A and B are shown apart, each in its own frame.
Chain A
């Protein structure tokens, strides 16, 4: 037993002092939180201040084209040439020029001169208004009251409410994308640490140190020490990554989401009222959040995720899935002499993992389908598929069953792997195939 400890210790120490490993541990959370921050930032509306000088030669837009709290419009009767020439002397961020024939359309009938590239949202803001004004103008030219048209047209926002078996509505919690990300992370981690075991086994074999070691410890002890050592390494990395991610995301959400949460609460309050009053709701009295509904949905789902549950499940499924797959990896690592021979063995191991990944991606669209259900129970795919479901809320019995199945299959797998391993590590110079490996299972 103490020898397994020694083997684990060596395994951990050799990787822990590895530069790539340290960089990985720090860089990965940076990338993840950076990516999340980027998505959140993108889903929020643009807030760059713009001060626009409008040279409207069509005379259609004065008084009709409106700015907002970030966009300030100033109309001028100056000529375009002059306005552009003086652009840099003045504080305007943009000059908007509208040709006299704008109503007939054509590319370049409107130009926006700028110093610093204006955002897409700003452009859309201006463009949408102008199109609307021209539209109304044309309607008027045909003696149609634009109010009739606009009143008869109403965009609606569908707000989803899930009803549970007790007849209560509960806030819709399907957050497929998050589930998919955790599933994908599981896929990456299992593969990454599985490969670590694979390489380590192969290294010992090609180094020819393995025979010295197995004359001191049983091959099984060596294999299990290696697998557990890398597992501890994985957990160290998780905890480190978890802490870094938590710190970073707290800082980021403090910066980006300060107002968002108070607004979100107000929005929710309103929706509660709508639910209560139904058709009697006076919608005019409600603050309109139409632009932000998508963002609120994302935000409220993030808020709803039980991160502790997700983290605990992630660790448990990682341990189970990793142990299961790394036993296979140890077995095939013992069977090959060179990295180039290894492909034919790694590919078949990758297939169930890939399958898990695809089923996980199906969870986004159809979390209650039977393929997802079975995929989250069968050990080959369960770590990945179950992780993709967990944020949606999964009955406890399903989690327990799937974990029990996973750990039971690990024990069977490690037993088989040990049989292959102890023969494989001492086989040199022979090209191995699956049939050969099959035979090793039956050696005494």
Chain B
């Protein structure tokens, strides 16, 4: 089942179209990456899901029910631009935000104590937010986001501002939360973490969805039939054998080992290529080069004319 079904959502601000007819399905219990360059419309979409703003047209369903106020308590949201009341103490603040999400004060307190223990924040309860470092504040924000055990957790750039240790801590938490049955949508520029965490992604660019599906599926779609071969032996013989099989994109030689990147010719399988070159050399390794999310992101976003993008940035 899909936890969220977004159908043909559009949102327009006076001169600017934020979302143009975007449809998405977000499967339950997945980690879903919402990708796209700055200003693509990710935050607008997230705000619509959180019912902070409403769509101009289109519909959203939360577990097959039309999205409404009652779903607010089932969603946890960590915005990209996040802050806390500087003068309030950590405990008071966390309690306040938890109560706003519908938790009872006592339940909230119990849960907070559990998380504080888990994140080694024991002595923080009475500290004022302004006394905390940015990373510490982020921990508080993360806890507040997931405290009410939401079915859907939306994290907008969750790793920005974290040091690698805390980032890892949060990553582990995300995976654990997924195991416990939550769905996580996270929006990021950090493609490494997308690959590490996400099952599904959607790529939004210039207000439109240009790509979505499971990460494996998308990677398969973006295969370029490129392989990396390492071998020992005669380079000339190897090249001649390969002649009909594909073209060489790159060659590197280290000591007696040659590393070739080759793109297979149409209708040629990897087995056939191997058969061609097998007699000529001693093969050390043979790997398909699978595009990473970074490449996919760039190759999908880039084709749109860069100069118009820059011009827009100036006129806006």
Contacts and interface: CB of A to CB of B under 8 A. Distances in A.
Given A207-B86, A426-B47, A426-B52, A215 B99 contact: no
Contact of B84 (A209, A217, A422): A209
Given A14-B88, A209-B82, A209-B85, A215 B50 contact: yes
Give the interface centre of A203, A219, A444 by most chain B CB atoms within 10 Å: A444
Interface of B: 13-14, 47, 50-54, 56, 69, 72, 75, 77-79, 81-88, 96-97, 99-102, 141, 144-145
A275 to B, nearest CB: 64
A10 interface: yes
Contacts of A214: 50, 52
B141 A439 contact: no
A204 B84 CA distance: 8
A213 interface: yes
B138 to A, nearest CB: 12
B60 to A, nearest CB: 15
Contacts of A7: 100
Contacts of A217: 100
B100 A208 contact: no
Contacts of B82: 208-209, 211-212
Interface in A385-430: 422, 426, 428
B13 A207 contact: no
B52 A211 contact: yes
A219 B52 contact: yes
B77 A215 contact: yes
A6 B56 contact: no
Contact of A10 (B72, B78, B83, B96): B96
Contact of B97 (A208, A213, A218): A213
Nearest to B73: A216
A41 interface: no
A3 interface: yes
Given A6-B100, A426-B47, A215 B72 contact: yes
Contacts of A10: 96
B88 A211 contact: no
Contacts of A213: 97, 100
Interface string A186-216: 0000000000000000011001110111111
A212 B13 contact: no
A38 interface: no
A443 interface: yes
Given A215-B52, A444-B54, A428 B81 contact: yes
B85 A207 contact: yes
A217 B102 CA distance: 10
B157 to A, nearest CB: 13
A215 B75 contact: yes
Contact of B81 (A203, A211, A216, A219): A211
Q: Taking chain B's interface residues, is the majority helix, strand, or loop, or is none over half, making it mixed?
A: loop
B129 to A, nearest CB: 9
A204 B87 CA distance: 12
A357 to B, nearest CB: 33
Contact of B144 (A6, A14, A212, A439): A212
A208 B144 CA distance: 15
Contact of A211 (B14, B79, B96): B79
18 contacts: A6-B99, A14-B85, A204-B85, A208-B82, A209-B82, A209-B85, A211-B79, A211-B82, A212-B77, A212-B83, A212-B97, A212-B145, A216-B101, A216-B102, A217-B100, A218-B69, A439-B14, A444-B56
Given A214-B52, A215-B52, A444-B54, A208 B83 contact: yes
Closest 6 CB pairs of A and B: A208-B83, A216-B100, A207-B83, A215-B77, A211-B79, A215-B50
Interface of A: 3, 6-7, 10, 14, 203-204, 207-209, 211-219, 422, 426, 428, 439, 443-444
B81 A208 contact: yes
A197 to B, nearest CB: 16
Contacts of B85: 14, 203-204, 207, 209
A444 B18 CA distance: 13
Contacts of A207: 83-86
B100 to A, nearest CB: 4
B55 to A, nearest CB: 8
B13 A216 contact: no
Nearest to A206: B83
A219 B87 CA distance: 22
Contacts of A219: 52
Contacts of A14: 85, 87-88
Contacts of B88: 14
Contacts of B99: 6
Contacts of B141: 212
A24 to B, nearest CB: 18
B52 to A, nearest CB: 5
Given A6-B96, A215-B51, A443-B13, 14 more contacts: A14-B87, A208-B82, A209-B85, A211-B52, A212-B145, A214-B50, A215-B50, A215-B72, A216-B100, A216-B101, A218-B69, A426-B52, A439-B14, A444-B56
Give the interface centre of A10, A209, A213, A444 by most chain B CB atoms within 10 Å: A209
Contacts of B96: 6, 10
Contacts of A422: 53
A208 B72 CA distance: 19
A216 B97 contact: yes
A441 B81 CA distance: 24
A434 to B, nearest CB: 14
A214 B54 CA distance: 13
Contacts of A203: 85
B52 A212 contact: no
Contacts of A215: 50-52, 72, 75, 77, 79
Contacts of B144: 212
A217 B51 CA distance: 9
Contacts of B97: 212-213, 216
Contacts of B54: 444
A208 B96 CA distance: 16
B69 to A, nearest CB: 8
B43 to A, nearest CB: 9
Contacts of A3: 100
A209 B83 CA distance: 4
A338 B190 CA distance: 31
Give the interface centre of A3, A6, A207, A212 by most chain B CB atoms within 10 Å: A212
Contacts of A6: 96, 99-100
A183 B54 CA distance: 43
Contacts of A439: 14
A207 B87 CA distance: 11
A203 B85 CA distance: 8
Contacts of A426: 47, 52-53
A215 B49 CA distance: 9
